[in-house]
Structure 1
Amino acid sequence: MVRLLAALAVVPAMRLAVARYAVPPGSADRAGCDGCGAPTGLDRPLPALGPAARCPVCRTRVGAAPGAVELALATAMWVFALTGGPAGARLAVAWWLAWAVPLALVDAAVHRLPDRLTYPAAAGVWALLGMAALAGAGPAPWLRATAAGLVLGAGFAATTLLLGRRGFGLGDAKLALGAGALLGWYGWPVLVFGLALAVTLSAVVGLGLLAARRVRWSSHLPFGPFLILGTALALLLTP
């Protein structure tokens, strides 16, 4: 019951984050309805948008589809409930998943991973894993997690510098800092497994969309949701 109440408490904040940041790269954060311009509370801590995520004036949808945030959060809670490890590490998982939900929805909508979500996600994971190390896990897994996050983030950033639009975006690299740290805490094989799952999932979905003629070979799928899914699956399957 406590977990359910905590989840319900963060739903408005997640819906607010998706509505505010699901705008094209380079655009100002959304502060009102795209349809009529009416303020919807996006510039205040408590948004006026309800579960339907529609403007109270013209009923235009603003942000995630109705139920999308709740469904993603329920999945995140399931992942957290089945993830093993010490309490401190599981707390880091919970923190990262809370940020991963709006990140996945924003990236899927507009191919964007905003710094205001990726940086707190990574910083919180690093700090909470550090606390887990001090609480008894020892420095080895924390140092490995730190190295894994930096290696994965740097690897993603390198593809951007070398391949441009054909590589991963810098937003993916920042997301990888937290994802890599979490996976690295559980071991280098888990990191490799999570990345392999993410790449495989993106390839399968991409081929499916190509077969259905929903995208072209030149299309660029957002990788953030796949990295989040791959990380979550790797955590679930890790003993």
Structure 2
Amino acid sequence: MTAERLRAAPKDAAVRRPVVRLLAALAVVPPMRLAVARYAVPPDSVDRAGCDGCGAPIGLDRPLPALGPTARCPVCRARVGAAPGVVELALVAAVAVLALTGGPVGERLAVAGWLAFAVPLALIDAAVHRLPDRLTYPAAAGVWVLLGAVALAGAGPAPWLRATAAGLALGAGFAGTTLLLGRRGFGLGDAKLALSVGALLGWYGWPVLVVGLMLAVTLSALVALVLLAIGRARWSSHLPFGPFLVVATALTLVLTT
């Protein structure tokens, strides 16, 4: 009987892992929806604190239904934040990225922490062309600290120093295009997002960082061409770059780690 129990234990653990991951992912939905609802407002506007229709407050103390999959105000039933199912689908994609990313546990924790901020950032930027400081800076600090812990745990200082240099270099490069080109360059929000993206990809090497950046530019160019071809954009239109940077970073992690 003891031997049978020992053989069954790994099977039970293998069954429980996906369930635990699913429950953890579902627990993240309300904070992500709250971030999108609160910060998906035009630049220089006050952060949203309640329903646009009736003013009912929105918060984690009363997450449903406003911060659930239906995304509806509990009072007037108006839509709140991202469309129903959008955050949930993005979170499923993020969990898939995390599952497909290799490396030690510490590195994957850094990826998970970055994705927790990157998902709402991408949705906010796609909606209102804005990457709020309250999400970009914690994303960069979280990646930097978690990778620092991995370095202290045995990876050594070299990859962490490279990640730090890569994050600063990519952020400065993006900010430089803003100063030199204005609206034709990257926005300052993109530069702040680039701090975490550069650090995360730079941890794995400079070539990985180059691949991620090239992939982001390629994806944005392809989408722009498609929108031009179907008449949904003009040559003067400005596409938000944050979603492409997030998607390209996630794909690069899956393909190269």
TM-score (norm 1): 0.96
1:45, distance to aligned residue in structure 2 (A): 5.1
1:40 to 57, 82, 86: 57
Q: Deviation digits for residues 153-204 of structure 1, max 9, x if unmatched? A: 0000000000111110000000000011000001000000000000000000
Alignment of 1:37-186 (within 5 A): 38-42=55-59, 46-48=62-64, 49=66, 50-186=68-204
- How far apart, in 2, do the equivalents of 1:46 and 1:11 lie? 13
Distance of aligned partners of 1:46 and 1:145 in 2 relative to their CA distance in 1, 3 Å threshold: farther
With over 3 angstroms needed to count, the CA separation of the structure-2 counterparts of 1:53 and 1:104, relative to structure 1, is same
Give 1:106's aligned amino acid.
I
Summarize deviations over 1:104-129 as a string: whole Å, max 9, x none: 10000000000001111110000000
Provide, for residues 68-118 of structure 1, a one-character-per-residue CA deviation record: whole Å limited to 9, x for no partner.
111000100100111112221111000000111100100000000000011
Matched, 1:198 2:183: no
Q: Residue in 1 aligned with 2:32?
A: 14
Give 1:194's aligned amino acid.
Answer: G
Q: In the TM superposition, what whole-angstrom CA distance separates every residue of 1:13-63 from its partner, at most 9, and x where no partner exists?
A: 000000000000000000122223x21324x65445132112223222121
Deviates more, 1:4-13 or 1:196-205: 4-13
Shift of 1:209: 0.4
Identity %, equivalent residues: 80
Q: Contact 1:84–1:90 (CA<8 Å) still a contact in 2?
A: yes
What is the CA–CA distance in structure 2 between the aligned matches of 1:99 and 1:46, rounded to whole Å?
A: 22
Please list every run of 5 or more consecutive structure 2 residues that lacks an aligned counterpart in the other structure: 1-18
Aligned-partner Cα distance in 1 for 2:53–2:183: 31
One of 25, 30, 46 as aligned partner of 2:43: 25
In the alignment, the residues of structure 1 paired with residue 193 and residue 62 of structure 2 have an alpha-carbon distance, to the nearest angstrom, of 26
Alignment-derived partner of residue 207 in structure 2: 189
CA RMSD of aligned residues (A): 1.1
Aligned counterparts of 1:216 and 1:34: Cα–Cα separation in 2? 30
Structure 2: distance between partners of 1:78 and 1:47: 25
- 2:87 maps to a residue whose letter is V
Q: CA deviation at 1:3?
A: 1.4
**In structure 1, C-alpha distance between the alignment counterparts of 2:78 and 2:128, rounded to whole Å:** 18
For structure 1, list consecutive stretches of 5 or more residues without a partner in the other structure: none
Which structure: larger Rg?
2
Question: Paired residue for 2:13?
Answer: none
Asked if structure 2 preserves the Cα contact closer than 8 Å seen for 1:40 and 1:55, the reply is: no
Deviates more, 1:148-157 or 1:58-67: 58-67
Q: Which moved more, 1:152-161 or 1:49-58?
A: 49-58
C-alpha distance in structure 1 between counterparts of 2:192 and 2:63, whole Å:
27
* Secondary structure of 1:175's aligned partner: helix
